[in-house]
Amino acid sequence: MTNRHSSISSGNIETSRSVEQGKLAALEAALHQVFDKLSLAGMAAGVLRGREFIWFRGFGYADLTQKTPVTRHTPFHLASLTKTFASTLLLQLVEKGQLNLDSPAADYGIELKSSGTITVRHLFAHTSGGNPGERYEYDGSRFGQLDRVLEQITGRSFEANLNKIIVQPLGLQNTGRMGETFEVALASPYELNDKGDLVQGTYPTTFRSSAGLVASVADYAQYVVALKGNRLLRPETLSLAWTPTKSTAGHDLPYGLGWFVETVNGTKVIWHYGYWNCVSTLVAIVPEQDQTFFAFANTDGLSRGFDLGCGQIVRSPVGAQFLEGLVFDQD
């Protein structure tokens, strides 16, 4: 005898799976259009739910000459996504009582002209310009000064801390400084010439807490899983990073500590982007749905011209597609 309730339940599950597959197919089609419109060379895009990828696609090529396919293990230059790793390293020092975020930056030899006292928190949250704490203004060079904080407290460089605390413990095989030997070859850099054609470019070689790290989507996903699983930070510390900074007037600003923090259509989105020569990247985390979206490219097209530093993820052509297709459309 067939159990009627089991049949209904099974039918609902199949329907739900079918709906999700339809949404993922629509997302893939939309990202393909973005890829073509922006004349990208290669792009790794994926959606992580919990600990597993529910969808991943490699678009274009990691190397146009060799026609090397893009996979989830292909390392890409991250540019400013490096800041999210620096955030974890610094906040571990806060947990240990070794760093007070409201200490003057000058205590660590960071001398910047200002009308007030610039603190570590101000550099961390991009609020060090003008009257410190008054307003948000994205400034990667000032964030990069946090290298000195890490070095003075730990006696190790940003790179050494990164390897010891994150890369090695998590077993990340395709994450590190440009020029290192990875399991998979780094995606080659490309740029558009004056005619709009893709030509070989050159990646920046600067490496510090603000930018310069290389990682694959698969490795970054392991990092996100470790963060959300409280392997790297306590829940209350991660919450601190993922809470909007308050201005001196008490207004919410678009940045937390090493992450953009935004509420879009009533849904909290934690995200960051990268933008540099031949580099454009995006990661977006939706905690309440346990979803994370990744898009890494070896050209600057995903970020160039969209002013993502203002703190609005919907300006990102790929970020907007993810939100509209998988986050807001929950029917």
Residue 320, C-beta contacts closer than 8 angstroms, at least 6 positions apart: 313, 314
CA nearest 131: which of 119, 114, 145? 114
First to last CA, the chain: 33
Please tell me the distance from the alpha carbon of residue 1 to that of residue 24, in angstroms, as a whole number: 37
Q: What is the pTM of this model?
A: 0.94
How would you write the pLDDT of the chain (331 residues) with one tens digit per residue?
Answer: 445 555 445 556 666 788 889 999 999 999 999 999 999 999 999 999 999 999 999 999 999 999 999 999 999 999 999 999 999 999 999 999 999 999 999 999 999 999 999 999 999 999 999 999 999 999 999 999 999 999 999 999 999 999 999 999 999 999 999 989 999 999 999 999 999 999 999 999 999 999 999 999 999 999 999 999 999 999 999 999 999 999 999 999 999 999 999 999 999 999 999 999 999 999 999 999 999 999 999 999 999 999 999 999 999 999 999 999 999 966 5
Question: What distances in angstroms separate CA 129 from CA 66, 74, 135, 253, 259, one per listed residue?
Answer: 46, 37, 8, 14, 18
Return the domain boundaries, the chain.
Answer: 33-327
Instruction: Please give the DSSP secondary-structure letter assigned to residue 167.
Output: I
**What tokens appear for 261 in the block?**
């923090």
Phi, psi of 171 (to 5 degrees): 65, 40
Question: What dotted CATH number matches 33-327?
Answer: 3.40.710.10
* CA atoms lying within 13 Å on the CB side of residue 100: 5
